[in-house]
Amino acid sequence: MRQRSRTIFLYPLLAALLCFAAAGNAFGQRTASINESPLPAPTGHVNDYAGVIDAATKSNLEQRLRNFKTDSGVEIAVAVVKTTGDRDIFDYSLAVSRGWGIGSTADDNPGALLFIAIDDRKYFTHVSKDLEDELPDGVVGNLQRRFLVPEFRKGDYAKGINDTVEAYIQTYQSHHDGTAPPAQAPTSTRRSSESPVSWSSVFCCLVIILFIVLMVWAGNRQKGGKSKDDHDRWGGGGFGGGGGSVLPWIILGGSGGSSSDSSWGSSDWGSGGSDWGGFGGGGDFGGGGAGGDW
């Protein structure tokens, strides 16, 4: 008899313990993803890993982009690599734009990345969700065909990059000049804040109550085998103290719908050179933009 009453204690305890252990484990574990940058942390707006931009152009462009960011809040980054290896340039550069966290973490976080793979002779510009109104894919493609491709064919990479970025800035500014403050239509619906307190939470409570009733019933059936020893060992009231908070806990639980979006854009730079403070950490890129080859 006493043996059986022990096991009744042990199963729920074991279950609860396992449950907490499993909860700790469930996060993390991503496959090589489009959220982590294959490149090291950026050192500024212009990152030339292939060595094709001369120092003067680079510092001018860097300054231009910093000023533009201060004026408009738009973060434009440039990355030049030799090759993306086996990976498609789209995937590779998307991972860079998200991993670097280009754009702020605010709700409205425009940003763009002009990405070039010199030896692959390919380019792609990623446009974040909040910049798609000003720089739709067709316009981005058009500007690249006009300003980037001709210069790249001549081998003047620095000028092609500089002119293209300048064209993006001008396009952005002409979009905003003379018009009222842009209607910032929320283009992404990822923050859905509806809280699903519904029949299912009620049902959940019912299940728990049923469980409790069953346990008590099981306890009653054991009454014959009751011993003082048990009582002392399990410290009466120790667990019961938590009981009062069960219902609020469960009701609150229904609104725990936070998304895992914050997993990207953890910015661990900033200790680096000069006054470069890193990108905003937004990285809100959904695949918009255009690219091609030359």
Partner 1 sequence: MKRAILLGIALFAAIGLSGCSYNELTAKQQNVKGKWSNVESAMQRRADLIPNLVETAKMSGVQEQEVFGQIADARSRLLNATQAPGQAEGGDKTPEQRQAVIDANNSFGGTIGRLLSLNESYPQLRSSEAFMQVQNELSGTENRINTARIDFNDAVRDYNTTRNSFPAVLTAGLLGFKEEPYFQAEEGAKQAPTVGDANSLRRPTN
103 to 122: interface string for partner 1, x by CB under 8 A: -------------------x
Compare residues 90 and 269 and give the one whose CB is closer to partner 1.
Answer: 90
**Of 61-69, 159-167, 210-218, 269-277, which segment contacts partner 1 by CB under 8 A?**
210-218
CB of 73 to partner 1, least distance (A): 23
Residue 16 φ/ψ, nearest 5 degrees = -65, -40
User: Cα–Cα distance between 51 and 90 in angstroms, integer?
Assistant: 21
132 to 171: interface string for partner 1, x by CB under 8 A: ----xxxxxxx--x---x----------------------
235 to 264: interface string for partner 1, x by CB under 8 A: -xxxxxxxx--x--xx--xx-xxxxx----
Among 2, 6, 13, 40, interactor with partner 1 by CB under 8 A: 13
Among 12, 85, 186, 272, interactor with partner 1 by CB under 8 A: 12
User: Cα–Cα distance between 8 and 47 in angstroms, integer?
Assistant: 64
Compare residues 201 and 267 and give the one whose CB is closer to partner 1.
Answer: 201
Compare residues 106 and 216 and give the one whose CB is closer to partner 1.
Answer: 216
Per the CB < 8 A criterion, the answer to whether 254 and 197 are in contact is yes
Compare residues 24 and 178 and give the one whose CB is closer to partner 1.
Answer: 24
Residue 60 φ/ψ, nearest 5 degrees = -60, -45
Q: Does 198 bind partner 1 (CB under 8 A)?
A: yes
**Of 69-77, 105-113, 153-161, 196-204, which segment contacts partner 1 by CB under 8 A?**
196-204
Side-chain half-sphere exposure of 39, counting CA atoms within 13 A: 28
Residue 179 φ/ψ, nearest 5 degrees = -95, 155
CB of 291 to partner 1, least distance (A): 4
Compare residues 39 and 251 and give the one whose CB is closer to partner 1.
Answer: 251
Restricting to residues 34-73, name those near partner 1 by CB under 8 A: 34
**Of 42-50, 170-178, 185-193, 265-273, which segment contacts partner 1 by CB under 8 A?**
185-193
